[in-house]
Amino acid sequence: MTVLTVAEHRRGELRDVSLEALTAGRELADEAGVELHTAVVGGDVEAFADRLNREGVETIHTIDESEEFNHDVYVQAVAQLADAVSPQFLLLPNTVNGLDYAPAVASRLDRPLVTDVVDLEYDGELTATRELYGSKVETTIDVHSETPAVTVRPAEWPAATGTGDATVESFDVDIDESAVRSTVTGFEEVSGGDVDISDADVLVSVGRGIEEEENLDMIRDLAEALDATVSASRPIIDNGWLEKNRQVGQSGKVVTPDVYIAIGISGAVQHVAGMKGSDTIVAINSDPNAPIFDIADYGIVDDLFEVVPALIEQFEG
Amino acid sequence: MKILVTVKQVAVVEDEFEIDGLSIDDRYVTDDLNEWDDYAVEAAVQIREAGEDVEVVAVTIGDADTEDTIRQALAKGADRAIRVWDDALAEAGLLDPETKARLLAAVAEEEDPDLVLTGVQSADDGFGATGVTLAEKIGFEWAAVVNALDLDRKAGVAHVHRELEGGVDELTDVSLPAVLTIQTGINEPRYASLRGIRQAQSKELAEYGLSDLGLSAADVESPLEQTALYEPESESDATVFEGSAEETAAELAGVLRERGVGQ
């Protein structure tokens, strides 16, 4: 039996979650006493296989189909490989593309699926840990199945290291072209103005807690007083209050400023993914349990409408 | 053309709360229409407003308490609604994506839609998998995490943008019939007007049990069992300033100046 992970790549680059899934897979394989296999579908599979050849990986399956991700191809490729390898556990990335094919693969293979897991344990049965209600609580789920599928949250496991001596095997799949009913026609970078928040030394970042668009003026005043750039979490962008290129997070920009001041931002995992590399993180939020405080260096638990004017006063007064 | 929109009532948890067994104590929870589904409803209603012969049907899985939520979808413009519930569902425990997709697939078979719109995920359990699982079950094409949609009904194609990580959109053409999972920000969901709320009261709201859908209790037995619920241990080692807003702002200003900010 095996643990089978599937790698992810985009525009020629292997994505980090591919190596993180190997670490999760290796831990699970050790607990269950099985081998670790990994697979990569499409692109420069030989080069990707080199990078996936880490300590503890027994076999790397390369599937030379399609240049970029296409879920119709991925579903068929991964399902056929799973039929051939019969892995006990199937580990896929909990990414935008992962969620575009993992549910279909799991359903097709009749495997129960647990998504966005942050921890896995095997004790004769798989127990997956996930978060609920926007990271406020964690839950454990026992999976009453011999052959589950899970998607692993990016950045929860360290990337696998060490050079492995895996066997690289090319796997031929038989793609039913009539079942390929979607076509990727291109990619587009988000746009909107000429500010590049990833260049800023100091970011004043605002979230849902600001409540009204008019209140952004106060944030702009603070940014001016601090000689900083304004950025935001997703809800502000969704509301159309700031341009898309100001969004920090998984689906926005990844930023690493010297100082990141998060105002009225709860710190959902998608946001944190975009700013946790900042040197100094400051959080201002009225909710003492907001996850943003878990990664902050300095915090103020108070009403931002009182703290921000006082802070402006400190620098202007 | 018929568009089926799936909506879910989700629990919104207050900042301070207590856990009661495997759920959060009711006192700290309010119910709301799932944010992602609100965008899906708006996308469907906009398609109806832009074209002729479009019917929008909202469907939810939930007990009688979720009726207010499905009526929100009606108030925002859905033509009629379906609520699926059964005592067997109340006893089934965790409704995983596969179970929900099985129920929704039975509704889709009955309704025979051309397009199904769902939210990308729900704000409470966040599985993010029901839409694609449903597509697989009913043999529809699909696209997950759609943040732009241009429907070409004549050609039978949905031109979509899928929001990838890192500020990149993937441009994809999807053959209809299809399931699209809708990301927030794709549009601006409307508020229900008073007139809409009044009209919603008289719109059709059908209620289906398992047997109405040709299913039995065995079809909703989930292999997933929730075994614990707890607050994660705080990993915080933040220095939290205490005092009035003036005092905390002054302390923070000191820290920021030390780092060369505002100088």
Percent of chain A past pLDDT 70, that is, above it, reads 100
Interface subset of A 72-91, CB within 8 angstroms of B: 72, 75
Contact A104 B136 (CB under 8 A): yes
For residues A152-169, average pLDDT = 96
Walk me through the domains of chain A, giving residue ranges and CATH numbers.
2-179 (3.40.50.620), 197-316 (3.40.50.1220)
Tell me how many domains chain B contains.
1
Query: Is residue B39 a part of any domain in this protein?
Result: yes
Chain A CA closest to residue B93:
A141
Q: Which CATH number fits the domain that encloses residue B156? A: 3.40.50.620
**pLDDT band at B154, cuts 50/70/90?**
very high
Distance CA A77, CA B139 (A): 17
3-state secondary structure chain A: CEEEEECCEECCEECCHHHHHHHHHHHHHHHHCCEEEEEEECCCHHHHHHHHCECCCCEEEEECCCCCCCHHHHHHHHHHHHHHHCCCEEEEECCCCHHHHHHHHHHHCCCCEEEEECEEEECCCEEEEEEECCCCEEEEEEECCCCCEEEECCCCCCCCCCECCCEEEECCCCCCHHHCCEEEEEEEECCCCCCCHHHCCEEEEECHHHCCHHHHHHHHHHHHHHCCEEEECHHHHHCCCCCHHHEECCCCECCCCCEEEEECCCCCHHHHHHHCCCCEEEEEECCCCCCHHHHCCEEEECCHHHHHHHHHHHHHC
Indicate if the pLDDT at residue B14 is higher than 80.
yes
B252 is a domain residue: no
Q: Note whether A104 contacts B135, CB cutoff 8 Å.
A: yes
pLDDT in tens, A91-144: 999 999 999 999 999 999 999 999 999 999 999 999 999 999 988 899 999 999
Q: What are the pLDDT digits (tens) for B236-245?
A: 889 999 999 9
Check if the interface score ipTM surpasses 0.85.
yes
| Residue A306 to chain B, least CA–CA distance (Å) | 6
pLDDT at residue A8, rounded to an integer: 98
What's residue B235's pLDDT? 76
pLDDT band at A317 (very low <50, low <70, confident <90, very high): low
- Count of CA atoms in the C-beta half-sphere (13 A) of A317: 10
Report the alpha-carbon distance of residue A282 to residue B209 in Å, rounded. 51
**pLDDT recorded at residue A194:** 77
A102:B123 CB<8 A = no
Residue B79 domain-assigned (yes or no): yes
Mean pLDDT of B226-238: 89
Q: Is the distance from CB of B29 to CB of B9 less than 8 angstroms?
A: no
Rounded to whole angstroms, the Cα distance separating B145 from B186 reads 10
Is residue B191, in this structure, part of any structural domain at all? yes
**pLDDT for A201-218, tens place per residue?**
999 999 999 999 999 999
Check CB contact under 8 Å for A187 and B127.
no
Cβ A115 vs Cβ B127: under 8 Å: yes
Distance set, CA B188 to CA B45, B91, B123 (Å): 12, 37, 18
B73 falls within a domain? yes
d(CA A178, CA A170): 24
Give the span between the Cα atoms of A130 and A138, in whole angstroms. Answer: 6
Residue B198 domain-assigned (yes or no):
yes
What residues in A contact B15, CB-CB < 8 Å?
286-290
- Best of B38, B133, B170 to disrupt the A interface (most A CBs within 10 Å) is B170
Is omega for the bond preceding A93 within 30 degrees of 0, making it cis? Answer: no
pLDDT in tens, A40-85: 999 999 999 999 999 999 999 999 999 999 999 999 999 999 999 9
Write down the pTM of the prediction: 0.95
Interface of A with B in 162-221 (CB under 8 A): 181-190, 202
Q: Using the beta-carbon criterion (under 8 Å), do B188 and A112 form an inter-chain contact?
A: no
The answer to whether residue B260 sits within a structural domain is no
**Which range of residues forms the domain containing residue B190?**
2-220
Cβ contacts (< 8 Å) between B126 and chain A: which residues?
Answer: 115-116, 130-132, 134
Assess A133–B contact: CB distance below 8 Å, yes or no: yes
As a whole number of angstroms, the distance between CA A69 and CA A180 comes to 12
Answer whether residue B241 is part of any domain. Answer: no
Mean pLDDT, chain A, rounded, equals 96
Give the pLDDT confidence score for residue A86 in this predicted structure.
97
Which tokens go with A16? 């980090």
Task: Please name the residue of chain A whose CA is at the shortest distance from the CA of residue B176.
Answer: A181
Tell whether A136 lies on the interface with B, counting CB pairs under 8 A: yes
End-to-end CA distance of chain A: 68
Q: Is B202 on the interface with A (CB under 8 A)?
A: no
Please determine, for residue B232, whether its predicted confidence score (pLDDT) is greater than 90: no
Q: Tell me what pLDDT residue B233 has.
A: 83
Q: Please provide the average confidence, as pLDDT, over all residues in chain B.
A: 95
